[in-house]
Amino acid sequence: MSARAFDAIVIGAGQAGTPLAGRLNAAGMSVALIERKLIGGTCVNTGCIPTKTMVASAYAAHLARRAADYGVTVSGAVGVDYKAIKARKDKVSGASRTGLETWIAGMEKCTLYRGHARFESANTVRVGDDLLTAPKIFLNTGGRASVPDLPGVHDIPYLTNSSMMDLDVLPSHLIVVGGSYISLEFAQMFRRFGSEVTVIEKAPRLTGREDEETSAAIQSILENEGITVHVGADDIAFARKGNGIAVTFSAGKPPAVGSHVLLALGRVPNTDDLGLDKVGVSVDQRGFIVVDDQLRTSVPGIWAMGDCNGKGAFTHTSYNDFEIVAANLLDNDPRKVSDRIEAYALYIDPPLGRCGMTESAVRKSGRRALVGQRPMTRVGRAVEKGETQGFMKILADADTGEILGCAVLGPGGDEAIHCVLDLMYAKAPISTLARAMHIHPNVSELLPTIAQELKPLA
C-alpha cells in the first residue's frame, strides 16, 4: 500500500490541533487532520462549553430561588427541567462542534481523517487502512478521566466528567469522589438542580493547590448551599446497595449512599495507544509526552500540544501551545512555554480567578513580599449584587514591586483576575495598579485600593 504524503499531520482536533491545521493550511501547506472521536476535543464536547452552559442553568435556578432577597416575587416553587437543561447544553455544544466541522471542510488543502492514529515510523502514521506520511507531525490527543483501582469501583456504574454529559436523569443523591476543580463545579451545579450532593476528598482539604484560606472559603461556599463535604477520607471503597451505591471511607464514618457516583480524581493523557514507543517519543512516568520549551518532543519533526504534554490542563494552555508552535514555525517569533504565567479559574459560584503564585508558594520561595486582601463584604458591587462570599488577595515583591500573584474569589472573579494578569505580562510594578483608575461600581475597582494598602507578608 502506498502512503499519501502531506506537508503536516495533526493528530487530534482539539483546541490546539484544529487552529494549527488552519494556520498551516493558510500558509499553503497540505495537512492531514486526524480525529478518532468528536471534533473540538474535550472543551467543546465534554468540558468547558457544555459544563459552563449547565453552570449558567444552575445559576438561573439559584437566583430564582433567591428572588425574594431582591424584592422579586416568584409564584410557587422553582422547578428544574433537567431534560431541558441537557437539551440546551447539547444545542450549545453541538453548534460549536458544527462550526468547527464547517471551518475544517472549507480548508482547501486539509483532509480530515476519522479514526485512531498510530505511528508506523517517525514520519508515518496509520489510520485504519490509510497510511499517511509527513515531515512534521503534531500531537494534540488530549486526556481522559483517571479511574484509580479502588476497591469495588468496577462493580458499580460510576460516572466521569465525560459520561456526566450523557446523563439524562437528575440524580436524587450524587456522590462526588474528588475535591478539586471539576468535581466541585459538578457538585454545586447538581445541588442547584435539586440533587442531594456529597463530596468525598482524600486530601486534608479541598482544592489542595490553593492556599488554605481559599480552600476553606470554597468549602464554606459549598456547605452554605447544603453540600456535605468530607475531607481527609481514606480507605475509599464502593459497593452496590439496593438500587443505590454505597461509598465507604474512613473507619468509623457512616457510608454515603447515593443514586449516582461521579469519579473526579484527575486526568491521564491519551498517549498509551499511539505507538510512541515504536518511534522513540519520550514520555514521563505519568504518560505525558516530554517536550522542550517550544513543544518539540525527543524525536525531530514531532511536536506535542495540549493536555497530552503535561504543561497545562486547560483550554487556554492548549490554545497557547498552538500559538507557540505557529509562532516558531510560521512567524519567526521565538515564543516559549516558560514565558506564560499560570492562570486559571474555578467555575463554582462565586468563581475563583487565579494567576501567578499563591501565598504559600511565595512563602516557600523565601522572597520578601507584600500582601493585600479585602473581603467581598467590603466590595460595593458585591454587596449591591447580594453576593458577598469570598475575597481578593494580591501579592507583590517587597524589593522590586513585581506583582507575584492574585486570587479573586467572588462575583466576576474569573473576569476581574485579568486586570492583574495583563499587568504581570506587561511586567508592570504593583505601583501601576495602585495608580490605575477603574470604573465604579465594579468588583475590580477595589484592586487598586488593595494595591495601595499592601503590608509585609509575615
306: alpha, beta or left? (left if phi > 0; alpha if psi -120 to 50): left
Measured distance CA(329)–CA(106) in Å, rounded: 23
Longest Cα–Cα distance in the chain: 73
First and final C-alpha spacing in the chain: 69
Closest CA to 216 of 197, 226, 229: 229
Are the CB atoms for 370 and 395 separated by under 8 Å?
yes
Residues 6 or more apart in contact with residue 332 via CB below 8 angstroms:
none
Instruction: Tell how far CA 440 is from the center of its chain.
Output: 31
Residues 6 or more apart in contact with residue 408 via CB below 8 angstroms:
352, 353, 354, 390, 392, 416, 417, 443, 444
- Give the DSSP letter of residue 253: S
- Nearest-5° angle of CA 352, CA 336, CA 333? 125
Active site residue 154: no
For residue 103, give Cα distances in angstroms to 108, 251, 354, 393.
Answer: 10, 55, 33, 42
Measured distance CA(336)–CA(376) in Å, rounded: 36
Measured distance CA(198)–CA(189) in Å, rounded: 12
The Cβ-side half-sphere exposure at 64, using a 13 Å CA radius, reads 16
Are the CB atoms for 107 and 27 separated by under 8 Å?
no
Q: Which of 173, 316, 418, 440 is catalytic?
A: 440
Active site residues: 440
